[in-house]
Structure 1
Amino acid sequence: MSEPTTNQRQPAIPGLEVEATAVVGIGLGLTGLALGLRPRLAPVALALTALTAALFRNPRRVPPDEPRTIFAVADGQVQGVREVYEHRFVHSDCLRLTTVVGPLDVPICRAPTAGRVVYLEQLMGDHRPLRDPHAPERNQRLYIGLETAWGPILLAIIASPLGRWLRCETTQGATLNAGARIASIRFGGQVDLYIQRDVLDPLVAPGARTLAGRSRLGAVVA
């Protein structure tokens, strides 16, 4: 099974974003120059190059062929699974699965299941710490509503104080496969997945680590 396709250019360096190619090339060049002129500075240049590569990772992800599985949207750590009422798109009692994305986690967000984008909204906002209870409704954030075979799903991607590069990478009306790239958020953030309460049997607990497009968050029971 091949990785879900996007209309993005293929990176020149496998496993890295296109934007990282020039920076990594310059960094390696400066490292070589430092080795010849100032050897003590070479480790610094190499460390900065490695950090850039880490921040722009784009690993290949192919979800298993499991149409009734909800996969992780982002790399990170599950913070909680709570029952809430979602008023923006689902308009129903929901399970909210929250994943915290660390500053060095892979910044790419992926579709948790196959569906069509029917709601899309990006809002600017504050730069509050994610532990602030008002951060999910006040920080810069992106909402993506998916229509699926068994009901609506809302994704809320919330920037952290450092994660101010929040980019939407899908469009209204787009039809997505599970694992398709939908957004990127660098330097950390939070992803909330809302799904109708009676639809999902959760398979994760707080503290679990996730990989976008690979880790199973739950099984559809509707």
Structure 2
Amino acid sequence: MNMLKIVAVPMHKEGRKFVAAFAAISVVLGLIWDPLFWIGAGLTVWCYYFFRDPVRIIPQQEGLVISPADGVVSLIEDVVPPADMGLGDAPLTRVSVFMNVFNCHVNRAPVAGKVVEVVYHHGKFLNASLDKASVHNERNSVTLETANGTRIGVVQIAGLVARRIVCFVKPDDHLGAGRRFGLIRFGSRLDVYLPQGIAPLVAVGQTAVAGETILADLKGTQTALQGQPE
């Protein structure tokens, strides 16, 4: 195994200015007191790591809903989706993936499809692991429509530390499954709204990998999984 590929993970371009700023501050601090330089250097490495953008192996089967984020599945519940997402007013299963400050924060499209809606909401910066963060926190909602007309909603939610949501797509854009569509700085959560009658294939507490972990199968009839910590 090539260790260089493990250590030197590509960084998303959104992180360049932050890494440069951390590095510059480290140099200035080092001029004041040598130990401060090493503290700054450590934070610079962390910043680079935060904005890492590793290659992912995207499942190619049709009908799969894949995780848009790295992190832990923190909530699975049936709720009425935000009205502006165009998903109707009936409760849908919402799968939430919570990202801490050590997770990769590049967000990927859960399905291939056309971007129907992109709606940004100003809001609070509560802990993103809380249920009420879906309603009260600053967030960006993206609705995708697959080739057969099925709609999937994905919401980027800012957290306690996160202060900036970045979205790269706009209505009428066409995305491939697993394509990068945005990121959030620093620590946050993503919600995925599944179509009515579709059961999740993950359980609360499970670790998800953006672009690789399968959240649901639009063509399947499986029932929701039950997880047991061990």
Same fold (TM over 0.5): yes
Which sits farther off after the overlay, 38-47 or 167-176? 38-47
Change (3 A) 1:95 1:134: closer
* Match in the other structure for 1:165: 164
Q: CA deviation at 1:154?
A: 1.0
SS class of match (2:194):
strand
The question of whether the paired residues in 1 share the 8 Å contact of 2:64 and 2:111 is answered with yes
Q: Distance in 1 between matches of 2:133 and 2:196?
A: 24
In structure 2, the residue matched to 1:218 is: 216
Could you tell me which runs of 5 or more consecutive residues in structure 2 were left unpaired when the two chains were aligned: 1-7, 221-230
Do residues 193 (structure 1) and 188 (structure 2) align?
Answer: no
Relative to structure 1, the CA distance from residue 136 to residue 50 in structure 2 (aligned partners, 3 Å threshold; closer, same or farther) is same
- Aligned residue pair count: 209
Unaligned runs of 5+ in 1: 1-12
Q: 1:40 to 1:212 in 2, by over 3 A?
A: same
Query: For residues 96 and 26 of structure 1, what CA distance do their matches in structure 2 show?
Result: 37
Match of residue 124, structure 1, among 122, 147, 151: 122
Once residues 208 and 161 of structure 1 are traced to their aligned partners in structure 2, the CA distance between those partners, rounded to angstroms, is 22
Q: 1:134 to 1:45 in 2, by over 3 A?
A: closer
Residues 1:50 and 2:45 are matched in the alignment = yes
Distance 1:45 1:182, change over 3 A: same
Match for residue 141 of structure 1? 139
Corresponding position of 1:64: 59
Could you list the per-position Cα deviations for residues 91-130 of structure 1 after superposition, in whole angstroms to 9, with x for gaps in the alignment?
1332111111112211111101101001110011112223
Q: Is the 8 A contact 1:128 1:139 kept in 2?
A: yes
TM-score (norm 1): 0.82
RMSD over aligned CA atoms reads 2.7
The aligned counterpart of 1:3 is: none
How far did 1:142 drift? 0.4
Higher strand share: 1
1:93–1:196 Cα contact (<8 Å) kept: no
Matched residues in 2 for 1:108 and 1:21: separation? 14
Task: Work out whether residues 90 and 195 of structure 1, in 8 Å CA contact, stay in contact via their aligned partners in 2.
Answer: no
| Structure 2 CA distance for aligned equivalents of residues 210 and 37 of structure 1 | 42
1:191–1:40 CA distance, 2 compared to 1 (3 A): closer
Q: Is the deviation greater in 127-136 or in 51-60? A: 127-136
Q: 5 Å matches for 1:6-17?
A: 15-17=10-12
Q: Distance in 2 between matches of 1:162 and 1:71?
A: 26
After superposition, the C-alpha distances for 1:51-74 in whole angstroms (9 at most, x for unaligned) are 111221111223021222110011
Could you say which residue in structure 2 is the equivalent of 1:101? 99
Q: Which amino acid aligns with 1:84?
A: V
State the distance in 2 between where 1:63 and 1:185 align: 21
Q: Distance in 2 between matches of 1:135 and 1:30?
A: 33
- Of all paired residues, the percent bearing the same amino acid is 26
